[in-house]
Amino acid sequence: MEPNIPLWGADIQTEMSTTQFVIPAGAGATFSAANNIGTITFNAAHGLTLKPTAPAMPNYFISFGGSTSGLSGTGILVGNVFRILTIPSTTAITIYTTITAATVTSLTGIPVFLPPFQAASTNIGVGGPTQTIATVVTPFPPAQIGQCQFYCTLGANCVVQYNPDLTFIPLDQTTGNTPATAPVFRTLQAASSSGDLNASGASVAVFASGTTATSYFSVHT
């Protein structure tokens, strides 16, 4: 009988994935704000959800590309990363911002995923976002953000970037005014490539980009 031989290697968690890519706001898209809560309404379904079908990752964060005009208040949308506070409909989201007005028809929404890409282990609704599902407002736990190692096989729809100037923080009610200068991000793992990364959600993020594809992520120890 052969003796038991320990095997050394990565302990891989359940694989996660995303098919999301950049979302054009489109003609007729709007931005409105009241009491520092900004509502962005896209001209079509955005596909963002806090309750995806496994193995898809939930949408806790969003950045913006493209361009805006008519900004007033404090800060900018393009390049900053915001916590999604609510998903009140299939076309709208809310964020905390000190911007009071903007024209957003040329804006794009960029889904952002922070390691380890999942909800925190805490009571549902404690500091977390909500989503309106079938007219019912459903609370969710906040995102878990931390250090982890993960394998990634990226399609054309995602890129992993890091923040070299150490100015990145997901914006919400606790971070004060919306910054007028966006954090710098550089490519760490290009789209349509694979890697094994040791990263923290405080400095590394997966940004949706490109076009239709699927990207895969496996956190491991």
134-141: which pairs have CB atoms within 8 A and are 24 or more residues apart? 138/50, 138/51, 140/50, 140/51, 140/58
**Cα–Cα distance between 48 and 26 in angstroms, integer?**
16
Instruction: Kindly report which listed range (8-17, 65-74, 106-115, 165-174) carries the lowest average pLDDT score.
Output: 8-17
Quote the pLDDT of residue 9.
57
pLDDT category of residue 36 using cuts at 50, 70 and 90: very high
Q: At 201, is the pLDDT very low, low, confident or very high (cuts 50, 70, 90)?
A: confident
What pLDDT shows up at residue 116? Answer: 95
pLDDT at 70: 97
Contact call for residues 99 and 32 (beta carbons, < 8 A): no
Tell whether the model's pLDDT for residue 125 goes beyond 70. no
Give the pLDDT confidence score for residue 99 in this predicted structure.
98
| Over residues 87-110, mean pLDDT | 98
Among the listed residues 198, 181, 179, 180, the one whose alpha carbon sits nearest the alpha carbon of residue 189: 198
pLDDT > 90? residue 138? yes
Confidence of residue 6 (pLDDT cuts 50, 70, 90): low
pLDDT of residue 41: 98
The CA-atom distances, in angstroms, between 164 and each of 14, 111, 152, 168, 187 are: 30, 20, 21, 9, 10
Whose tokens are 């968690």? That residue is: 13
Residue type, position 17, single letter: S
Specify the pLDDT at position 71: 97
CB 168 within 8 A of CB 145: no
Q: Where are the alpha helices (DSSP H) in 18-83?
A: none
Structure tokens at 47: 């596909």
Per 3-state DSSP, what percentage of the chain is helix, strand, and coil (rounded to 5)?
0, 45, 55
More confident residue, 13 or 125: 13
Residue 136 phi/psi, 5-degree rounding, is: -105, 130
Question: Amino acid identity, residue 138?
Answer: T
Q: Can you tell me the mean pLDDT for 25-54? A: 97
Once rounded to an integer, what is the mean pLDDT over residues 149-178?
Answer: 96
Q: What is the chain's mean pLDDT, rounded? A: 93
What phi-psi label fits residue 202: left (phi over 0), alpha (psi between -120 and 50 degrees) or beta? alpha
Q: Which of 152, 153, 95, 155 is closest to 129 using CA atoms? A: 95
Give the pTM: 0.93
**pLDDT for residue 7 is more than 70:** no
Checking if the pLDDT of 82 tops 90, the result is yes
For β-strands 69-73 and 107-113, DSSP reports them as: unpaired
Assess whether pLDDT exceeds 90 at residue 124: no
Handedness of CA 49, 219, 79, 129 (dihedral sign): positive
